[in-house]
């Protein structure tokens, strides 16, 4: 009798290397700008109505110093504005919950003999230039209104760098990261005052675009690093490099981020695991399991019950097994699939057993017992695995051919019919057609043909 050909023409798809991880900035490094907590006083006389924007350097030790007048609609009020800024008290800026130095630009409005801070004034936006009004809205947390005002002003001055940067700030705090990055990009150079926000904007946009537009993501990430070489910007660069298939560069970048993050005792487990997750994904893409092992061990210590590290390792073994199959090295492929199965991750183990069964079935003289052993292991994990049911049926057909035991033939048809139903339900028509050919041969000729 002619032996049935059981070469399986189906692809066992591997899962994605990892879920998308948020930027470190979103987790820990968002800057919360300062605010005036007590408005100061002045002894210099107010000499007419006006609005004065002052720059104040606020230090981490709680001190502050007035550095300059940024803009003024009435310079006769500048001296009073400096005194108000100097005698005011401030809530300092924070980043990740920690106080950071900041150049703060409060705006003071003088009306008659009174002075108010635009940030807290109910009449914000009622006077002054568009940029000042946008700033006031941003400082009061009215980001959508600030965006609308900036966009309206840009309609008549589309290349105004100050307005573009303010639009970028407003969009960043409104979580419109890609739009924010594009606004900063249109502005060209970024002022020192906005550099930290721009870097975070570029970083967040790079991570957001890494899946859909790796090239654009890489451009934004490089801009982030140019503004701020901190861990957040470098993390975004590593993610973008990974998406762009620059595996060696991604490994080097993310390794550096890892070292920075883990050197900080305040970094939480989620952030550490997230950085390791991206680093492991880079090792997976590079196929370098030996180099990945320390990262795998570290992730298992951080989150012992998380399946991701074992899935990633299993993906490496299965990818290497597929390459060995295509190269005609059955023994090497089987050894790699066996290693994947020993990781005890159900998803990976089932996939490995299916692939190993496929290798056995494709040999010139398949070993029915060995084929059935792999199929049994896969079915123990998932009784409704169409591929495992298929190979179980094929192994039983081969046993029937040798024994002519009609009970074995009946068992073979049970598994093959179940596999056919499952394959069709899964939309795997290639597998279903393969199964139906064998069912037809078994039912028509009593078994496979020699």
Handedness of CA 404, 355, 297, 275 (dihedral sign): negative
Has residue 13 got a pLDDT over 70? no
**CATH architecture, domain 33-128:** 2-Layer Sandwich (3.30)
Per-residue pLDDT averaged across 39-59, rounded?
91
Has residue 30 got a pLDDT over 70? no
**130 or 2: which leads in pLDDT:** 130
**Residues above pLDDT 90, as percent of the chain:** 55
**62 or 3: which leads in pLDDT:** 62
DSSP state of 77: G
Q: Is 58 helix (H, G, I), strand (E, B) or coil?
A: strand
- pLDDT tens digits, one per residue of 167-178: 999 999 999 999
**Cα–Cα dist 134/159, whole Å:** 16
**121 or 235: which leads in pLDDT:** 235
**Residues above pLDDT 70, as percent of the chain:** 89
Which range among 27-36, 238-247, 376-385 shows the weakest confidence by mean pLDDT? 27-36
* Arithmetic mean of pLDDT over the chain: 85
Structure confidence at residue 159 (pLDDT): 87
Assign 9 a pLDDT band (cuts: 50, 70, 90): very low
**Cα–Cα dist 42/117, whole Å:** 13
**Cα–Cα dist 429/357, whole Å:** 19
Has residue 67 got a pLDDT over 70? yes
Has residue 326 got a pLDDT over 80? yes
- pLDDT tens digits, one per residue of 92-116: 888 777 888 888 888 899 988 889 8
Q: pTM, whole model, 2 decimals?
A: 0.57
Structure confidence at residue 445 (pLDDT): 66
């Amino acid at each position: 009798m002619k032996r049935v050909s059981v070469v399986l023409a189906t692809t066992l798809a591997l899962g994605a290397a990892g879920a998308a991880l948020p930027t470190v900035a979103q987790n820990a490094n968002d800057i919360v700008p300062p605010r005036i907590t007590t408005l100061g006083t002045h002894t210099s006389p107010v000499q007419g109505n006006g609005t004065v924007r002052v720059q104040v350097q606020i230090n981490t030790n709680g001190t502050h110093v007035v550095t300059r007048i940024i803009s003024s609609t009435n310079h006769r009020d500048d001296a009073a504005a400096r005194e108000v800024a100097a005698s005011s008290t401030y809530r300092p800026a924070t980043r990740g919950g920690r106080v950071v130095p900041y150049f703060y630009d409060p705006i003071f409005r003088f009306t008659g003999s009174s002075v108010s801070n635009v940030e807290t004034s109910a009449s914000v936006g009622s006077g002054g230039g568009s940029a000042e009004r946008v700033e006031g809205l941003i400082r009061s947390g009215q980001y959508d209104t600030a965006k609308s005002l900036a966009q309206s002003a840009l309609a008549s001055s589309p290349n105004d760098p100050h307005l573009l940067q303010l639009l970028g700030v407003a969009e960043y705090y409104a979580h419109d990261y890609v739009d924010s990055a594009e606004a900063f990009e249109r502005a060209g150079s970024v002022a020192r005052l906005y550099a930290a926000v721009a870097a975070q904007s570029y970083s967040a946009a790079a991570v957001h675009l890494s899946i859909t537009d790796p090239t654009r993501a890489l451009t934004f990430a490089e801009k982030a690093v140019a503004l701020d070489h901190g861990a957040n910007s470098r993390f975004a660069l590593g993610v973008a490099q990974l998406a762009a298939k620059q595996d060696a560069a991604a490994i080097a970048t993310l390794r550096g981020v890892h070292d920075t993050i883990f050197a900080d005792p305040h970094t939480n487990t989620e952030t550490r695991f997230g950085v390791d997750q991206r680093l492991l994904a880079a090792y997976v893409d590079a196929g370098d399991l030996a180099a990945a092992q320390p990262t795998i061990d570290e992730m298992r210590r951080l989150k012992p019950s998380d399946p991701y590290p074992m899935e990633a390792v299993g993906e490496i073994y299965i990818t290497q097994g597929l390459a060995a199959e295509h190269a005609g090295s059955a023994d090497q492929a089987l050894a790699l699939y066996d290693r994947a199965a020993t990781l005890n991750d159900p998803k990976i183990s089932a996939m490995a057993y299916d692939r190993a069964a496929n290798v056995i079935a494709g040999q010139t003289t398949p070993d029915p017992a060995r084929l059935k052993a792999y199929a049994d292991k896969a079915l123990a994990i998932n009784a409704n695995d169409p591929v495992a049911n298929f190979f179980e049926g094929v192994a039983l057909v081969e046993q029937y051919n040798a024994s002519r035991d009609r009970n074995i033939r009946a068992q073979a048809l049970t598994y093959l019919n179940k596999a056919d139903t499952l394959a069709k339900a899964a939309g795997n028509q290639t597998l279903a057609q393969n199964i139906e050919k064998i069912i037809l041969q078994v039912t028509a000729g009593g078994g496979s043909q020699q």
